[in-house]
Structure formats: C-alpha cells, structure tokens
A and B are shown apart, each in its own frame.
Chain A
Amino acid sequence: MARGVRLHCWGDWALFTRPEMKVERVSYDAMTPSAARGVLEAVYWKPEIRWVVERITVLQPIRFTSIRRNEVKDKISQASVAKAMKAGTGDLGIAASDLDTRQQRAALLLREVGYVIDAHFDILSGPENAAKHLDQFNRRARRGACFTRPYLGCREFAAHFALLEPDSVAPVPHESLRGERDLGWMLHDIDFAHDKQAHFFRAHMRDGVIAIPNLAEATA
C-alpha cells in the first residue's frame, strides 16, 4: 500500500498493561494496537498524520515472568507544578523511600518479545502528500532515529526497532504460535475525542498474526 509500513520491534521485556489489572500489573499476551501506535509515533509523527495499525505479528513464544517493584501512591499535584513553573525553582519529587507514599506493586510481564507492526497513516490536515510522510518515516526508521525511545507498553521497557523494506522477507512467527488462539477482549485504543473512552476488540491470533479492526468497528 502506498502508505503502509512494516516495522520490526523487539525487546527483552514488555508490559502491555491490562486496564483492569493496572495496579498490580498483568500484561496482555501480545502487543496492543495502542502500544504499536506508540512505537510508530516515537519514530515519526506529525500532527498532520494519524497512524492506524492494521496487523500485529507475534514472533516469539509468549512467556511471562513476575517482578515486584517499589513505587509511589501519590501524583504530583497540578498546583505544585504551576507554582514551581511560576517561581522558576521547586522540588517536585516524590521519594519512594517515603513510608507514607511507598507502595509495592507486582507485575506479571512478558519476556523476550518480538513483533512486526503493519500500519498505515491517514493524513488529517495539510497537503495530501503521503509520499513525503512515508519517505520521512522510512529514512528515520532505517537510520534508527526517533523522537523518544520507543517502548513496549511501559516506558522502562525500551524497544529496538528495524524497518522491514517492502521487498524483504518478514521474520516468521515461532512454531508454538501456530494455530488459532483467542486472546479475549483486548484494548484497542483510547478515544481521546470522546471523553477518553476505552475501546476494546475481540483479538484472535492466527499463526501469530492479529488482525486489528478499525476503531469504529471495535466499539460495536
């Protein structure tokens, strides 16, 4: 497709948090469309385009592991941020060593993951110059440029990425992923236009490939 790209991303850890198990984190079995969109947007994004993920191919067998971390239970308040901005200085940190605010949270996350993201972009505004955007993405992905480091679900789990050229052979999913697997209702994305509603879609993995429906179809 003229606007389609394929990006291979992989990493040692991934945590695509289930919304219901957000406190004691449990990961989905595979990458969510919103996480895939995040990886693409980290490589290249402008307000004129919107990435639409079509397909996610899972390459590595699905392996979980469990870790426990010390985190905090408070958020930095907006008022203190505004005050610090106005004053020019200020301490906005919350120490995890503070007994009042420390919370220990467990996480059930994925190990040694690899995905191929098939996506295209829609042009929302500006000149209808798909080739320009596509070319910029390809160049950046080839040389490893990104605005921020792409991550797999949570920021601390950094992702490596490589562009798959249109004529190159894509990596093959692991043999344990063959067959059909029902992954249940998976988060599609958050609809920021309508009160940040979460939309879910029924995910089926066939031989490692998850087909992602449109956002409109997912709500039905």
Chain B
Amino acid sequence: MILQRLVEHYDRLEASGAVKLAQPGFSQQKISFCIVLEPDGQLNSFEDMRRQEGKTLQPRTMIVPGQGKPSGSGMNPCFLWDNAEYLLGWSDDPARSERSERAFNASHAMHLAFESQIDTPAYAAVCAFLRGWSQQKAAESRERLGEIATHFGVFRIAGEQRYVHESAAAPAAAQLAEAEAATAMCLVTGKVGSSARLHEPKIKGVADAQTGGALLVSFNATAFTSYGKDQSFNAPVGTVAVFKYANALNHLLSLRDRRIGLGDATVVFWADHAQPELEDGFGMLFGSTPAETNEATGTPQEDETRVREARLLLTQLRDGTRNAQVKSDDEPTKFYILGLSPNASRLSVRLWIEAEAPELERRLGEHLRDLALKTNFDERPLSIRMLANATGRYQSSGKTKFDIKGVSPQLVGELARSVLTGVAYPQSFLATMVRRIRSDSYIGYERVSAIKACLVRNSRLRGAPQEVSVDLDDQQTDVAYRCGRLFALLEKAQLAALGKELNSTIKDRFFAAASATPALIFPRLFRVNTHHLAKLKQGSRSFYTNAFGELMGEPFAFPRQLSLEQQGRFFIGYFQERQYRPAAEAYSPEETGDIDE
C-alpha cells in the first residue's frame, strides 16, 4: 500500500506539473559548481552555483542524467556531471591524487567514447576541454576549486543559458541505464516487467539515518532472503515503480513543512488533493509551525497568516464548527501519513495511516476536545510534541521547559497513532504523567490536559463515558476531584495567612502524599488550617469556612488510597481550583484573602 500510494503521488505531481521531479533515467543531485567553457573548448571560468539559504551557502538541486553515485571504491564516472575528482582530476586531499588521476581518466574515456554519437557543438567543446585538461592545470585553480567544488559540477558553454547535460541528446541517458534481467510481476503496479535488484535512489531526509541515504526496501543480509532469491528479487518491484516511489518519498522528505520529527521517527504526510489549511493544521498539531522563507534575509520565519489560519482550524475542529467543503461530485480527499524510523542503513515503517479528510478531521476534533481545558493564559494549541515532552522532568531554568532526556522516544509516535486513529492513548501515558507530577510537583497546563484527555478517552472507549469539565465544576461529586479542590483551598489559605514567611508550602511537602493517601494527610492539614484561618480577617475566614463546608457538604469520607485515575482527577481538581477566578463583581478582594493583603 505504501509504495503504491507513493507511486500514485509521483504520478499526481508529474501530471500537475507544479513540482519538477526527475524522470526515469535521471536523478536530482546537488550541484555546487559549474565549468564554463568557450565554444572551442578552452576554459572560461569556474562558476559558483550555490545559493544563499539562511546563513550558509547551499548547493542547488538539479536534474541530471543517470543515477546517483554508488558507494564503493570502483570507478563510476557520471555523464556530464560529477564531482571535481572525476571531471577535473582535482581533490583537496593530496593523498588522493593518484586516485583522482584514475578517476579523471575514466571520466575522460567515457565522455570521449560517446563523442561520435552525440554530434553537437556543445558536446564537442566538452570533449575538446577534457582532451586538453590535466591535473596540473587543476592544481593552478586550487583556491577557487577548494571553495566551490564541495558537491557536484556540471558544464556550460559561455554565452548559452542551458547546461550541456540539458541539451545533450537523451539516447546517451538510455544507454547508461542498466538492463535488469529478471522479469516478474511487480507488486506495486501488477504489471509483469523487469524488476529492480537494488532500490535506488536512496531515501534521504530521515533524521538519524545514514547521511548517504537509507533504503525502505532492502535485503542486506542472508537472514532476510527467502526461497533462494537474492537481494530485491525477494520482493519484485518494477524498475519504474521503484524510481517513482523513491523520488516521491525523497521529494516529500525535502519539504520542510510536510515533514515532522516525532520522537525517533520522521513523519511525512500528503493528500491526494491539495488541502493546505488541513495540512498546516496537521503540522501544527504535531509541533511544527508553518514557516516560509523570508525572501530578504533567507531565514525561515513563521508565516503569521498561516499560523493564524491553522490555529483557527484547530479551534473549529475542536468546537465542531468547521464547515466541511464537500462538493457533491468530488470524492473526499484522502490523507496519507507515513512515519519512518531509522535503523542504520534501513528504514522501518513506524506509522502508516490512510484516512479520508472528514474522518481525519473528526479524529483531530475528538482529540482536541478530549484535551480541552480552560486556563487563564492564552496558550498555544497543545501539540503532540509538547504533550510528550511534558512527561519529562520540569526544569525551571534551561533551554526547554521539560528535560527531553526523560521522554520515551516511542511515546510521541504512539501518541500520534492514537490521535490519528482514534484508539486509546498509550497505556503508559497516564501513568507516566501522574508519576511525573508526583515526583516534581509541577502541575502545568500541558500535564493536566494530558491527564484529562486520558481519563475522558479511556472511559469513553470502555463504554462508560465520564465527563471531566473544561472549567471548574462546582457540582462534581467525585471524591478525588473534591480532594484536589480542597487541597488547593488549603494551600490558598496558608499562603494568605503566612505568605511571605514561608519556606515551603503544604504543596511542597504534602502534595504527593495527599494525592495518594488522602485519609492520612488531610486531617493533619485541617488541623494546621485552623491556625491559618485564625490569622485571617473575618471576611476571608468565613469565605474559607464556607468553601470547605460546601465542598464537604455531601457525605464525605477521605479515601484511604486513590487509584491512578483518581489521582489524575485529584490533579485536575487542584489545577482547576487554582485557575478559578470568579468574575470581578462576584466578590470583593477582602474575601479571597489574596497574598498581597
């Protein structure tokens, strides 16, 4: 399915013409320099082909004939493009001069062999240049080459716009293509044809994989082969299909805002019709913000309009107010999400989801609703990465809010899978979050939202949906929730009474214990609370007494132990009570006993 969808994506991109993709027999390579020649073959100059991107000069990506250079120590000259070693016999490492000589000779020989077939003045100029060139001449231009010959180079005749490889005839490219002998039924297209032995070009752009590129389909050890088949003949895929899927995948991985890193996996997503808002909203949900390159400075900047639209989309999805633009004659757009995880030279598929856009929107909305929690700060929509990072240790100082080292790399991927498929959140998620709160006592919006989402979704999937309100719920009778609120009130009273003299509040000392064994801790806290209340003014005192009375009005016994889910509710109650600020006209500053009194 995956390969088939990638092949379809390639065909779609081809047909739309919006993106320039390589054709079979060609490949995309990074070109950093160009050899400009006079029409008679004399060297005109070396041209720097790199482009400014941000702070660095990046080589330009161009489509050139032939496949990429394979690894290994054999001679592999490429046709009308190559690195400086093959084209000019120059290398910045003096120890390689003998190899450079051989490489240059090989390239030289190959180009001259085609001279009789390709009868254009441009190619004749190239051949004349190669005949007259030698390593010593390359050494003369050492500084210039050292600067620009970092990647590959191409040829151009001075005065002409096009490069020589663009104007040279195609027959040469076809001759360079290897003929594969084995014929089999391709498992992507179903057609019988020649099947590829190695799946080239390699997939580049997956984080932490080999820089030279990794393979999605490879059989690089004997244990992986079966039925006596060798290498990729174990899974017959036609050469054309291989080319298409590899190029489509490389293209997707090169788009910065369609590629997201989630834990140890790199996720790409695409749709079969362009749906830019949904794709941006998607990216934002996962944790990447839509960016555009600032034309002037070359730095990627957040595209403010797109960020706003994406945020609006997420809000609409959460509230269910999104108008589905369903055209009756069109089929709904299908979304494909592929998560790839590196394993040295191979890629493993961590995530593969195919869903129609309305279904996907519904699932995203469900997730956002599960997560929704009122807060006093205008928070950005919580991305999955933020949720997963919140399981790390809280750092009050430091680059990030949470210590990422403590986060399981698989958690992010599994969270993404839960959000996109609508199944339960990972089992460890709730437990890890509760455990983390107990150990570092930081109750933040991200953590409490995550707990709320787990509770709501788990109960819904069990068949007994339980409501956890977005805002403080006065009518909630759940004991653990009320205990949490009580704790928040007790803490408020303590701060009001003793505020500035305190080194540690009851939260610092008793929070974890109170959430696990309320029956042991709360009586003690109430005993101390009487002393706190004694220090407050009459108005505040009555406020607290009323509040306690209200909370404990229903028949109430402090539970001896709270289960994991109940501890989660405790934290939610605590958080919501602390966030609660009634409307200004409902109270006077006297009553609440704020700290600044």
- Whether A associates with B in a native complex is yes
Contacts of A190 in B (CB 8 A): 227
Are A26 and B349 closer than 8 Å at their CB atoms? Answer: yes
| B558, CB-defined interface residue at 8 Å | no
Are B235 and A20 closer than 8 Å at their CB atoms? Answer: yes
| A24, CB-defined interface residue at 8 Å | yes
Are A23 and B229 closer than 8 Å at their CB atoms? Answer: no
| B223, CB-defined interface residue at 8 Å | yes
| B351, CB-defined interface residue at 8 Å | yes
Are B224 and A22 closer than 8 Å at their CB atoms? Answer: yes
| B529, CB-defined interface residue at 8 Å | no
Q: How far is the CB of B456 from chain A (nearest CB, A)?
A: 20
Contact residue among B190, B219, B350 (Cβ-Cβ distance under 8 Å from A66) = B350
Contacts of B187 in A (CB 8 A): 19-20, 185, 187, 198, 200
Which residues of chain A in 17-65 are interfacial with respect to chain B, using CB atoms and an 8 Å cutoff? Answer: 18-24, 26, 29, 63-65
| A219, CB-defined interface residue at 8 Å | yes
Contacts of A184 in B (CB 8 A): 1, 4
Contact residue among A19, A66, A74, A219 (Cβ-Cβ distance under 8 Å from B235) = A19
Contact with A along B25-51 (1 / 0, CB 8 A): 000000000000000000000000000
Are B190 and A200 closer than 8 Å at their CB atoms? Answer: yes
Q: How far is the CB of A45 from chain B (nearest CB, A)?
A: 20
| A149, CB-defined interface residue at 8 Å | no
Are A104 and B343 closer than 8 Å at their CB atoms? Answer: yes
| A143, CB-defined interface residue at 8 Å | no
Q: With A24-B349, A106-B348, A200-B187 in contact, do A75 and B227 touch (Cβ < 8 Å)?
A: no
Contact with A along B208-227 (1 / 0, CB 8 A): 00000000111111111011
Complex alpha-carbon distance, A24 and B217, angstroms? 8
Are B413 and A66 closer than 8 Å at their CB atoms? Answer: yes
Contacts of B423 in A (CB 8 A): 63
Complex alpha-carbon distance, A187 and B349, angstroms? 19
Contacts of B343 in A (CB 8 A): 24, 104-106
Contact residue among A29, A66, A73 (Cβ-Cβ distance under 8 Å from B222) = A73
Are A199 and B185 closer than 8 Å at their CB atoms? Answer: yes
Contacts of A19 in B (CB 8 A): 187, 234-236
| B22, CB-defined interface residue at 8 Å | no
Contacts of B228 in A (CB 8 A): 196
Contact with B along A142-160 (1 / 0, CB 8 A): 0000000000000000000
Contact with A along B328-346 (1 / 0, CB 8 A): 0000000000000101001
Are B352 and A197 closer than 8 Å at their CB atoms? Answer: no
Q: With A20-B187, A185-B187, A200-B187 in contact, do A73 and B223 touch (Cβ < 8 Å)?
A: yes
Contacts of A73 in B (CB 8 A): 221-224
Q: With A26-B2, A75-B222, A108-B350 in contact, do A20 and B217 touch (Cβ < 8 Å)?
A: yes
Contact with B along A81-102 (1 / 0, CB 8 A): 0000000000000000000000
| B291, CB-defined interface residue at 8 Å | no
Q: How far is the CB of A193 from chain B (nearest CB, A)?
A: 13
Are B188 and A185 closer than 8 Å at their CB atoms? Answer: yes
Contact residue among A105, A185, A219 (Cβ-Cβ distance under 8 Å from B348) = A105
| B184, CB-defined interface residue at 8 Å | yes
**CB closest chain-A residue, reference B185:** A200
| A123, CB-defined interface residue at 8 Å | no
Contact with A along B1-38 (1 / 0, CB 8 A): 11110000000000000000000000000000000000
| A202, CB-defined interface residue at 8 Å | yes
Contact residue among B185, B221, B237 (Cβ-Cβ distance under 8 Å from A219) = B185
Q: With A198-B185, A199-B185 in contact, do A22 and B235 touch (Cβ < 8 Å)?
A: yes
Contacts of A196 in B (CB 8 A): 227-229
| B347, CB-defined interface residue at 8 Å | yes
Contacts of A105 in B (CB 8 A): 343, 348
**CB closest chain-A residue, reference B189:** A185
Complex alpha-carbon distance, A64 and B353, angstroms? 9
| B150, CB-defined interface residue at 8 Å | no
Contact residue among A20, A29, A63, A202 (Cβ-Cβ distance under 8 Å from B237) = A20
Q: How far is the CB of A219 from chain B (nearest CB, A)?
A: 7
Q: How far is the CB of B417 from chain A (nearest CB, A)?
A: 8
Are A197 and B222 closer than 8 Å at their CB atoms? Answer: no
Are B227 and A21 closer than 8 Å at their CB atoms? Answer: no
Contacts of B348 in A (CB 8 A): 24, 105-106, 108
Which residues of chain B in 58-77 are interfacial with respect to chain A, using CB atoms and an 8 Å cutoff? Answer: none
Contacts of A24 in B (CB 8 A): 343, 346-349
Complex alpha-carbon distance, A184 and B5, angstroms? 9
Contact with A along B166-184 (1 / 0, CB 8 A): 0000000000000000001
Are A21 and B217 closer than 8 Å at their CB atoms? Answer: yes
Contacts of A106 in B (CB 8 A): 341, 343, 348-350
| B441, CB-defined interface residue at 8 Å | no
Contacts of A205 in B (CB 8 A): none
Complex alpha-carbon distance, A72 and B223, angstroms? 7
Contacts of A23 in B (CB 8 A): 218-220, 224, 346
Complex alpha-carbon distance, A105 and B414, angstroms? 18
Complex alpha-carbon distance, A196 and B230, angstroms? 13
Are A21 and B349 closer than 8 Å at their CB atoms? Answer: yes
Q: How far is the CB of A142 from chain B (nearest CB, A)?
A: 34
Contact residue among B1, B234, B237 (Cβ-Cβ distance under 8 Å from A22) = B234
Q: With A66-B413, A196-B227, A197-B184 in contact, do A108 and B222 touch (Cβ < 8 Å)?
A: no
| B421, CB-defined interface residue at 8 Å | yes
Contacts of B346 in A (CB 8 A): 23-24
**CB closest chain-A residue, reference B414:** A66
Contacts of B347 in A (CB 8 A): 24
**10 nearest CB pairs, A to B:** A24-B348, A106-B348, A73-B221, A20-B235, A19-B235, A196-B227, A75-B222, A23-B224, A20-B217, A184-B1
Residue numbers of A with Cβ under 8 A of B are: 18-24, 26, 29, 63-66, 71-75, 103-106, 108, 183-185, 187, 190, 196-200, 202, 219
Can you list 27 residue pairs at the A/B interface with Cβ under 8 Å?
Answer: A20-B3, A20-B187, A20-B237, A21-B235, A23-B219, A24-B346, A63-B421, A63-B423, A64-B417, A64-B421, A66-B417, A71-B223, A73-B223, A73-B224, A75-B222, A75-B223, A103-B221, A103-B223, A108-B348, A108-B352, A185-B188, A198-B184, A198-B187, A198-B235, A198-B236, A199-B185, A200-B187
